[in-house]
Amino acid sequence: MKRFTTTAIAIGLCFAGFAQDTPDAAIVQKIRKEGLENSKAMDIAFNLTDVAGPRLSNSPGLKRAQNWAIKQLSDWGLKNAHLEAWGTFGKGWQIDKYYAATTLPFYHAIIASPKAWTPGTNGPIRSEVILIKADSVADLAKYKGKLAGKIVMMDRGTALTSGTKADFSRYADSTLAQMAAATPTANAGRQRPAGGPMADRMAQMMKLRQAQAAISAALLEEKVGLILTYARGGQGTFFTSNGASYALDAKPVSPELEVAAEDYLHILRLLRAGKPVEVEADIKTSFYDQDPQGYNVIAEIPGTDKKLKEEVVMIGGHFDSWHAATGATDNAAGSAVMMEAVRILKAIDFKPKRTIRIALWSSEEQGLFGSRGYVSKHYGDPKTMVLTPDQKKISAYYNLDNGTGKIRGIYLQGNEAAAPVFKSWLTPFNDLGATTVTINNTGGTDHQAFDAVGIPGFQFIQDPADYNTRTHHSNMDTYDRLVEDDLKQSSTIVAAFVYQTSQRGAQIPRKELPSPQPARP
Amino acid sequence: MKRFTTTAIAIGLCFAGFAQDTPDAAIVQKIRKEGLENSKAMDIAFNLTDVAGPRLSNSPGLKRAQNWAIKQLSDWGLKNAHLEAWGTFGKGWQIDKYYAATTLPFYHAIIASPKAWTPGTNGPIRSEVILIKADSVADLAKYKGKLAGKIVMMDRGTALTSGTKADFSRYADSTLAQMAAATPTANAGRQRPAGGPMADRMAQMMKLRQAQAAISAALLEEKVGLILTYARGGQGTFFTSNGASYALDAKPVSPELEVAAEDYLHILRLLRAGKPVEVEADIKTSFYDQDPQGYNVIAEIPGTDKKLKEEVVMIGGHFDSWHAATGATDNAAGSAVMMEAVRILKAIDFKPKRTIRIALWSSEEQGLFGSRGYVSKHYGDPKTMVLTPDQKKISAYYNLDNGTGKIRGIYLQGNEAAAPVFKSWLTPFNDLGATTVTINNTGGTDHQAFDAVGIPGFQFIQDPADYNTRTHHSNMDTYDRLVEDDLKQSSTIVAAFVYQTSQRGAQIPRKELPSPQPARP
C-alpha cells in the first residue's frame, strides 16, 4: 500500500520535472563536440596508469597520482584543488623488488606478486618447497621445527579450464530491457534475511578464515621464509585483492607471494607427485607509516547563481587501486572519465548555477573509506542518521567504477522519482547506446556512502567489457584494456548529467531517509 | 580428364578395400576400454611437461624427456627403444636465470623470456631504455656511440584489443561437413603460383628481415646491453618462436628479451611520450655444443607375421618445444597420445602382423629436421626422389601435432584412395566425435616429411581448442591446457588406426610419386 502511494507521488514528480529536465540542445551539442572530438580521457588515464603506477592506498604511487591530479585540475581552471584528509587509514606499502623462479626440476621464472602489505624475504632465498597439508593448526604439528627459512605452499588450487566464452562483452539489448523493466518490489528489502544458506555460507567462510589466520600465525612462529599462495586466474592473468593488515599496529606476517595459477599448479602437481621442487626468490617491500591519514582529492567549479551556488553537485570515483598492475579499469577509467567531464565543462566555459565538485577517493578497495570518511565529515553519520545542514545542500552524487565499459544508463538505487529526470537527460545520448534507467541497486562502490545518509547517489550502468574476466583486481589491469571510444562516450554523458544537475530548478528528488544502520556489514 | 579417371580408380579401391577394412569389433572394444578407462595419457604428459620442462631442440630439457621416454617405452615392453641421430642440428641452449623489471617511473616486474639461443647479460644490468627509431642501418647513425651497455627497444608494437571471441573452440558440424565435402581440385596445385600478392608480401618480408638483421648487427657492434623485443599476445600470454641462430658457427648476437605485449607497450608509450624509463635485468643462458647431433626417439612393437613383419606402420609426433613454457599442446599432447597409443596396444597384448614403430621427433620447430633427417636416411631424398627399398615397406605414417583437441577425423593429404579405408576405421569412433575424412592437405608438421617421398603420411583433424589463441608457441603452453578427455579419445583412435594398418591385407593405397623438389621452400 505504502509502495503504491510512493509510485503515485513519483509520477506526479515526473510530470512536474519534465519541463525543467528537457536538455538544452545547444549546450549538450557543445559538450558532445568537446567530449567526443577533443577528448583528453586517454591522456589522463595514461598519466594515472603508465606514469603514476599502482595506486594502492597510501602508497607512493597513489601520492604521485594525487599530486598530478591536483595540478591538472588546477591547470584546467578548477578551484581549490587539494588533498583532504578523511581519517586514519594506516600504513602505505609498495613493492621494491619481486623475483621468483623454480630452480628444480628446471628453471622457470614465476609470474606472481607479493601480497599487499607483506614483508620481503630480507635478501635472496632459495629452498625446497614444502607442501603443507593442513586444515587447522593441529595439522601443523608434523611440520614443527622443519619450516624455518623454507618456502611453503598450502595443498590447495583448482585445475584450470580454458575459456569457452569471450573475455569481452557488451550488454545485449535484452539484458538492458530487463533492467529497465525491473520493479521496486524486487529491490525492496534493504536487509538480507537472517539465517538461510547465505548465512550458512558466511559462517563457513568465517570459520575457514579463522583457521587460515591461526595457520598463518603458526607459520610465522615457525619462521617460514616465504609462503606461496594460489592466485585465481589463468593464462598469465591473476587476481589479487587480499592484502595483509595495513593497520599501524598490525601483527607481523610472513613474506607471501600470490602466484599465478599456472605456476602455482605446476609446483603443486609436482609436490603432490612426490617430486622435489626448489624455488629461489628475492622480494623487497617498503612500508610507509609517517602519515597514516588517508586523503581524497577534491576540486570545484564554483557555482555562479547567487542562491544556488551554495548547493553542490558531486561526481567522483575511487582513485586507489590494487598493486599488481596499474588499476586501469579499476579505477583509473572512472577517475579519468570524471576528470575529463569537468575538463569538458571548463573547456566549453560553462558557468554552473550550483557548485560542481569532483572527488577522487582513496581506500575504496579497503571498504569505501575515502567516500565514507568524507560523507561522515560533511553530511552525516549513517550509524545514527544525525545529519549536517550541508546534507540538504547536495543535489546528487554520480559515481563511475565499473571498468572501461561505456555508459548504457543509470541505476536509480531505488529512487523512482529520479527516473523521468534521468530518462530525459539520457535522450540526447540514446544514439551512443545510453538508454536504460533501472530502479535496481548496484553496490560495491562509493555512491553507497552518499546513499547511506539519504543523498541521491548513483552509479552508471556500464558495459561489462572484460572487467570480470580479466581486469578487476588483476595483474592485467593495464592501460591496454581501456577502450578509448567508451571513455569518450562516458565522459560526455557524465559532463551532460553534471551540467543538467547544476542548472536544474529543483534538486534531484530524494528517497525517504534510511533508518540508522548501527551494525554496518 | 585425368582427375576423373583417378576418382574412378579410387571408387574401385573403395569397394575392394571395404571387406578388409571392417574393424574387428572385439579388438576395437578392447582398445576403447583400455584407452578410455585406463588412460595414462595425462601421466605421460605430466612427465613430459611439468617434470622434464621446456624441450627446445638439443636442450637439457629435451634430453631429460627423451631419456624418460626411452625408459618408459621399454618398461611397457616396446623393443629397441633408443635415440637415433638424424644429422647435425647445432647448439643446445637453456635459460638459467631470467629477471627484468622497470625501476622508473615505478617498480614493475616484467613478464618476458630471453629469446632462444641468445646470450645473457653477463650479470645484473640497469639502464635507461633507449627507443630506437630505425628502419635501416642508416637510421642508426644518430645513436652511434650512445648505446654501449644500454637497454634498447625498437619503436614497434601493436595496441591490444580484448577478445570478443572465446579462446577455446571445437569444430562446428558445419565446418566438418565443409571439410568432408572438399574436392581434390581445391588442393590440386602443389606449387604456389609465381608472382602475385603472396610473392610481393614474401619479398617485402625478406627485405624487412634483411634490414632487421643489419640493424641487429649494428646494435651488436655498439655493444648494447639488452634488446627488448615485442612479443605478440596479451593478458599475460605471449608467443615466442623466433630464436637466434643455433648453428655451431653462428655469429654472436646481443642479449635479447621477448617482452609480453602489456609490459612492452607500457615502456613504449612512456618513451614515445618522452618520459624516462629505467629497466634492470639479470639474464643467464647456457649453450651446449659438445654434441651437435640431433636425435629422435625410436621404439618398436615387432611384427609377428612371417612375411608382413618386414613391413612397418609408423606413428609419431614431435617431441621438441619452444622454451617459454613446457610445450604441453605443442607437442607434449601429440607425443603423449602417440606413446599412449602404443601403451594401449601393449596393454591389450596385441601382436601385430606388421611392425609398429613410434618416433618422437626433434627439431620440428626449426623445420621438421628430425623427421626429414629420418626419412632421408631410411626412405629417400625428396630433392632427387631417389628412394630406398624400405620406402616400399612402410604402409603409412600417422602424426599428431595440433594441440590438445580431440580427433575429429583425418586429412587425406590428397590421397583419395585412402578415403574409404579411413571412413570405415572411423566408424567405431563416430560416437566420440571422429567422423570426418577430408581430401584436404594440412601442413606445418612431420607427416610432410613422409608425404614428400611418396609414403602415405597423415595428420589427424583436431579440434582447435585454444591452440591458436593461447598455447601455440606461447608462455602459457602448460599442462593446464591439456583436456584429459580429448587426449584419451585421441589415443584410443590412434591405437585403433595403428592396429588396423598393421593387420590390413594390403598396405594403405599410395598417391602418385611426387616429382623431385630440388628447391624446398
Which CATH number is B264's domain given? 3.50.30.30
Ranking A3-12, A80-89, A281-290, B197-206 by mean pLDDT, the lowest is A3-12
A135 and A221 together in one domain: yes
Would residue B362 count as lying in a domain?
Answer: yes
ipTM: 0.94
How close, in Å, is residue A182 to chain B by CA atoms?
28
- Range of B269's domain? 93-161+209-288
Q: In this complex, which of B61, B166, B266 lies closest to A163 when CB atoms are compared?
A: B166
Would residue B197 count as lying in a domain?
Answer: no
Residue carrying C-alpha cell 575424412: B437
In the structure, what pLDDT confidence band is assigned to residue A155 with cuts at 50, 70 and 90? very high
- Yes or no: say if A463 and A408 are a contact pair by the CB < 8 Å rule: yes
- The list of chain B residues with pLDDT below 70 reads 1-19, 185-195, 519-521
- Section A397-407 average pLDDT: 98
- Section A414-425 average pLDDT: 97
Amino acid at B33: K
B354 and B429 together in one domain: yes
C-alpha angle with apex B451: B447 to B457, nearest 5 degrees? Answer: 50
Where helices occur in B78-195 by DSSP H, the ranges are 173-181
Would residue B73 count as lying in a domain?
Answer: yes
- What was the pLDDT predicted at A7? 36
Q: In this complex, which of B46, B108, B261 lies closest to A269 when CB atoms are compared?
A: B46
Mutation choice for A interface testing from B96, B235, B286 by most A CBs within 10 A:
B235
Q: Could you tell me the sign of the dihedral formed by the alpha carbons of B192, B194, B196, B200, in that order?
A: positive
- Yes or no: say if A348 and A78 are a contact pair by the CB < 8 Å rule: no
Would residue A509 count as lying in a domain?
Answer: no
- What was the pLDDT predicted at B459? 98
Beta strands in B412-520 (DSSP E): 436-438, 457-462
- Surface-to-core class of residue B359, CB atoms within 10 Å of its CB (0-12 exposed, 13-18 middle, 19+ buried): buried
B37 and B77 together in one domain: yes
| This prediction's pTM | 0.94
Would residue B173 count as lying in a domain?
Answer: no
Number of structural domains (chain B) is 2
Final residue belonging to a domain, choices A223, A256, A288: A288
- What was the pLDDT predicted at B280? 98
In the structure, what pLDDT confidence band is assigned to residue A18 with cuts at 50, 70 and 90? low
- What was the pLDDT predicted at B212? 87
Would residue A178 count as lying in a domain?
Answer: no
- What was the pLDDT predicted at A246? 98
Final residue belonging to a domain, choices A233, A260, A288: A288
A399 and A479 together in one domain: yes
User: Phi, psi (5° rounding) for residue B346?
Assistant: -70, -40
A220 and A103 together in one domain: yes
- What was the pLDDT predicted at B519? 59
Separate counts of helices (H) and strands (E) for chain A: 12, 20
A308 and A360 together in one domain: yes
Would residue B462 count as lying in a domain?
Answer: yes
How close, in Å, is residue B234 to chain A by CA atoms?
9
B419, HSE (Cβ side, Cα atoms, 13 Å)? 25
Query: CA-CA distance, A372 to A368, in Å (whole number)?
Result: 6
- Give tens-digit pLDDT for A230-244: 999 999 999 997 899
Query: What is the layout of strands, in order, in the sheet containing A112-114?
Result: A108-109, A92-104, A278-288, A125-132, A151-154, A226-231, A256-260, A112-114
B345 and B467 together in one domain: yes
Query: CA-CA distance, B446 to B316, in Å (whole number)?
Result: 8
Beta-carbon contacts of A162 under 8 Å, excluding residues fewer than 6 positions away, are A234, A235, B167, B168, B465, B466, B470, B481, B483
B61 and B117 together in one domain: no
Query: CA-CA distance, A265 to A259, in Å (whole number)?
Result: 9
A269 and A154 together in one domain: yes
Final residue belonging to a domain, choices B288, B320, B353: B288
In the structure, what pLDDT confidence band is assigned to residue A11 with cuts at 50, 70 and 90? very low
Report CA-CA distances (Å) from A414 to A182, A184, A304, A510, B368: 10, 6, 31, 10, 66
Chain B contact for A172, CB < 8 A? no
A228 and A270 together in one domain: yes
A473 and A344 together in one domain: yes
Helix (H, G, I), strand (E, B) or coil at A161: coil
**Can you give the CATH number for the domain in which A499 is found?**
3.40.630.10
How close, in Å, is residue B69 to chain A by CA atoms?
17
Q: In this complex, which of B236, B269, B481 lies closest to A50 when CB atoms are compared?
A: B269
- Section A145-167 average pLDDT: 91
Would residue B520 count as lying in a domain?
Answer: no
In the structure, what pLDDT confidence band is assigned to residue A449 with cuts at 50, 70 and 90? very high
- Surface-to-core class of residue A473, CB atoms within 10 Å of its CB (0-12 exposed, 13-18 middle, 19+ buried): buried
B47 and B100 together in one domain: no
Residue A164 in this model has a pLDDT that exceeds 60: yes
The length of chain A in residues reads 521
